[in-house]
Amino acid sequence: MKSAVLYFSLGCLLFLPFKANAQYHFDKPLYGAAYYSEYAPSDRLDKDVKMMKASGTTVVRIGESAWGLFEPSEGHFEFAWMDRIVDKLQKAGIKIILGTPTYSIPAWMAKNYPEVLADKMFGQKNYYGIRQNMDFYNAKYRFFCERIIRKLMEHYAQTPAIIGFQVDNELEARGVDNEDYFQGFKTYLKEKWHGDISALNKAWGLNYWGMDIYNWDELYRRDGVTSPSYKNEWERWNRKATADFLNWQVSIVNQYKRKDQFVTHCFMPAFQNIDQVEAFKQMQYPAINIYNPVQNSQDGQLIAYAGDYMRTVAKGNYIVTETNAQATGWDSKGQYPPYDGQLRQNMYAHLASGSNMVEYWHWGTLDYGQETYWGGLLGHDMEENRVYNEYTSTAHELDKIGKKLVNLNKKNKVAILFSHDSYFGLQFMPYTDGDNYPVNRLHNALYRQNIETDIIPCDKIMNFNQYSMLVIPPLYIATDSLLKKISDFVKGGGEVIMMFKSGFCNEESAVRPTKAPGPLRKACGFYYQEYSSIGTMNLKNNEFGVTDKAVNTWTEFLIPETAKPLAYIDHPFYGKWPCITDNNYGKGHLVYLATNPSEELLSKIITRSAKRADALLFNGKYSFPIILRNGKNDSGKQIHYIFNYSAVSTNIDYPYGKAIDLINNKILTNGCKINIPAWGVIISEEE
């Protein structure tokens, strides 16, 4: 199929309207791997496809790194090599996701157009020889991007086996700071501030050290900037620019794709580095690449963390485009392959969080290159092995029960608020040398008590009325409207656990010139004017029963107005002020942590609030290493996953109503004894 090629022009982005709801329907979860026949030292395509078919592989991802093969010289395109791969896969009944290869540019582009390579802050420069080394804002680069995307779509969009297209790969700004990118930032600021430089000077406090600008040409580069306001706005620009780039690619793909095909992008669990909500708005399924710890460290938490965020972005299900098969690494240090049973357990953990597909990176381990030791399903010998055999048995098991597990619908009572702005604001003004934005720590504390949660990017999404409980990491930067939403949530009957430094700065990273916590004062029931860094300290006797080494790092000198003190530091000075409070506000409660709690204390604080919010499953009877995950399937029936994240077989009382054990085909009744093998899982469907 031929079409007129409308090449990209900077300053003129055309995003075609497109319905975001998925039109591709998953009738069962897909299971497979990224596949690169072109990497093999000899032609083994037929053997690979035969092994895939025998293993039960249902999907592969191809092409996202192959620009140099699709276009070996400028303007010369070759597709025959990929046509052969696609044809073999299609004849074997294996579904395909085709990637646009824009994240790894061909050598001719770097040689002939060196301006496409990224300049970075502080005089650093990217060179050719690694992926993701380009200035993605560069007009010449985007010209070539659009051309290769259109050529690929013209050639492959009508291929029946291709069910979806992946645009780019793990996109982040990655420190790009070319002149055109900086000029884009300047234009972005002009538009945001409607050309009013004086308003920007005032909001950012540029009077400090006399750094005001009086015309836009005086705007200085990011390299030497000390202003937290400038730094945080630069991060917003990074997120906007990357989202715009993805949306631009998707708008091209959407002109060609069939209605029964989807578009996706593989995000990373470093959620702060890109605006997933904006980037996803034209896609049908978001994807996530998750490399989780295994062996004795396998606990499923990172899988749940990523899924709990991506479900919110997707407003439904998502897919996994990469996860670890064998050991991973850019060298041979730290090679830890999974124990027996862990590959299977992790696959079901992805499904339990709402994924409709699990793909490994990758099919066969490379014999050369940077990722020589990033193991695939097959090892360097490319023969059957322990991991491949477990993958095969798991695929055949999934084939039997997968229709019961696909399109899992999860309705949770608890949400964590994730703030991109607060994450970066606290990197620029840290209170510790360690983790300044402990969202993952909070998620882990909930996860280990089997309190399922959604993670909401609250810079973009402020609707959380469907929850009974919110858990809030330090909300250091927030608009008045977001803080009012939280206050109204409490007033209306919600339960909130909020960490220190919340409400401190406005959206421009400027401290609110009022007693902290500013607009949250009534909901919190206190104010404070002082704070201090601290070491590890004990608490006086308290209702949580935790005293030794209970708090550390930071404390605020809270002066209660309506709040009830729950704990005091055992110290002659700091002990004058409560460090944990509970305030009744309207119909709800806000528990405030003015200090950093130990793991034990945090767990007990969460237990207390979860009971009050009716969010503690089975009154906390089951906790890690027994992990429970739940949802409804396409038939509206409850699906229950019970994981044993330990090396020891465990017996428990089955906690749910009458159900069928889908794997073992046995009837389960409430209270009956069940055995969960080491690194095992029980999956039941309620009748």
Residues 6+ apart with CB under 8 A from 296: 647
pLDDT of residue 125: 92
Q: Under CATH, to which class is 30-177+226-404 assigned?
A: alpha beta
pLDDT of residue 18: 33
For residue 307, give Cα distances in angstroms to 302, 314, 355, 417: 8, 10, 7, 15
Residue 20 has pLDDT above 60, yes or no: no
pLDDT of residue 19: 37
| Concatenated DSSP letters of 95-147 | EEEEEP-TTS--HHHHHH-GGGBPBBGGG-B--SSSSS-B-TT-HHHHHHHHH
Residues 6+ apart with CB under 8 A from 4: none
Q: Give CA–CA dist 385/377, Å, rounded.
A: 8
Bridge partners for 209 per DSSP: none
Mean pLDDT, range 373-379, rounded to an integer: 96
CA 605, distance to chain mean position in Å, is 26
Domain 30-177+226-404 and domain 620-686 have a common topology? no
pLDDT of residue 132: 93
Q: In this predicted model, what pLDDT tens digit does every residue of 74-124 receive, in sequence order?
A: 999 999 999 999 999 999 999 999 999 999 999 999 999 999 999 998 989
Task: Name the band, by pLDDT with cuts 50, 70 and 90, for residue 8.
Answer: very low
Mean pLDDT, range 247-275, rounded to an integer: 95
List the one residue out of 456, 469, 392 whose CA is nearest residue 55. Answer: 392
Q: What is the mean pLDDT of the chain?
A: 95
Domain boundaries, the chain: 30-177+226-404, 181-218, 414-614, 620-686
Residue 2 has pLDDT above 70, yes or no: no
Backbone angles phi, psi at 235, to 5 degrees: -65, -35
Q: In this predicted model, what pLDDT tens digit does every residue of 218-227 receive, in sequence order?
A: 999 999 999 9
Number of Cβ within 10 Å of residue 23's Cβ equals: 12
Structure token pair of residue 169: 């790969």
- Count of CA atoms in the C-beta half-sphere (13 A) of 260: 10
Which CATH number among 3.40.50.720, 3.40.50.880, 3.40.50.1220, 1.10.287.130 corresponds to the domain 414-614? 3.40.50.880
The amino acid present at 345, given as its one-letter code, is Q
Sheet holding 666-668, edge to edge: 626-632, 638-644, 680-686, 659-661, 666-668
Residue 409 has pLDDT above 90, yes or no: yes
* Residue linked to tokens 């069962």: 28
Q: Give CA–CA dist 91/535, Å, rounded.
A: 64
Q: Give CA–CA dist 450/467, Å, rounded.
A: 16
Residue 9 has pLDDT above 60, yes or no: no
List the one residue out of 297, 283, 291, 206 whose CA is nearest residue 246. Answer: 283
* Residue linked to tokens 């034990």: 600
Structure token pair of residue 579: 């460090």
Burial class of residue 560, CB neighbours in 10 A (0-12, 13-18, 19+): middle
Residue 11 has pLDDT above 70, yes or no: no
Bridge partners for 366 per DSSP: none
Q: In this predicted model, what pLDDT tens digit does every residue of 296-307 receive, in sequence order?
A: 999 999 999 999
Torsion of CA 496, 502, 507, 508, to 10 degrees: -170
Structure token pair of residue 454: 């959604």
For the domain bounded by 620-686, which CATH number is listed? 2.60.40.1180
Q: In this predicted model, what pLDDT tens digit does every residue of 580-636 receive, in sequence order?
A: 999 999 999 999 999 999 999 999 999 999 999 999 999 999 999 999 999 999 999
Q: Give CA–CA dist 147/7, Å, rounded.
A: 7
Q: Give CA–CA dist 339/297, Å, rounded.
A: 11
Q: Give CA–CA dist 365/361, Å, rounded.
A: 9
Mean pLDDT, range 166-192, rounded to an integer: 96
Mean pLDDT, range 267-284, rounded to an integer: 93
Q: Give CA–CA dist 570/576, Å, rounded.
A: 9
List the one residue out of 187, 196, 190, 201 whose CA is nearest residue 229. Answer: 201
Residue 17 has pLDDT above 80, yes or no: no
Number of Cβ within 10 Å of residue 331's Cβ equals: 11
Q: Are strands 588-593 and 659-661 parallel, antiparallel or unpaired?
A: unpaired
Contacts 24+ apart (CB under 8 A), 652-656: 652/622, 652/626, 652/676, 654/684, 655/618, 655/621, 655/622, 655/628, 656/684, 656/686
Task: Name the band, by pLDDT with cuts 50, 70 and 90, for residue 24.
Answer: confident
pLDDT of residue 679: 98
Mean pLDDT, range 389-401, rounded to an integer: 98
pLDDT of residue 23: 72
The amino acid present at 29, given as its one-letter code, is P
Q: What is the 3-state secondary structure (H, E, C) of 588-603?
A: EEEEEECEEECHHHHH
| Concatenated DSSP letters of 489-548 | HHHTT-EEEEETTTT-B-TTSPBPSSSBTGGGHHHHTEEBS-EEEEEEE-B-S-TT---T
Structure token pair of residue 67: 């620009």
pLDDT of residue 16: 34
Residue 505 has pLDDT above 60, yes or no: yes
Q: Are 96 and 161 in contact (CB under 8 A)?
A: yes
Q: Give CA–CA dist 521/92, Å, rounded.
A: 64
Number of Cβ within 10 Å of residue 182's Cβ equals: 19
List the one residue out of 536, 494, 314, 499 whose CA is nearest residue 422. Answer: 499
Mean pLDDT, range 650-659, rounded to an integer: 97
Query: What end-to-end distance do the CA atoms of the chain give, in Å?
Result: 50
CA 271, distance to chain mean position in Å, is 5
**Percent of the chain topping pLDDT 70:** 97
Structure token pair of residue 165: 């297209």
Structure token pair of residue 257: 């794709």
Structure token pair of residue 604: 């007990």
pLDDT of residue 187: 97
pLDDT of residue 687: 86
Q: Give CA–CA dist 324/563, Å, rounded.
A: 47
Helices (H) and strands (E) in the chain, counts: 17, 28
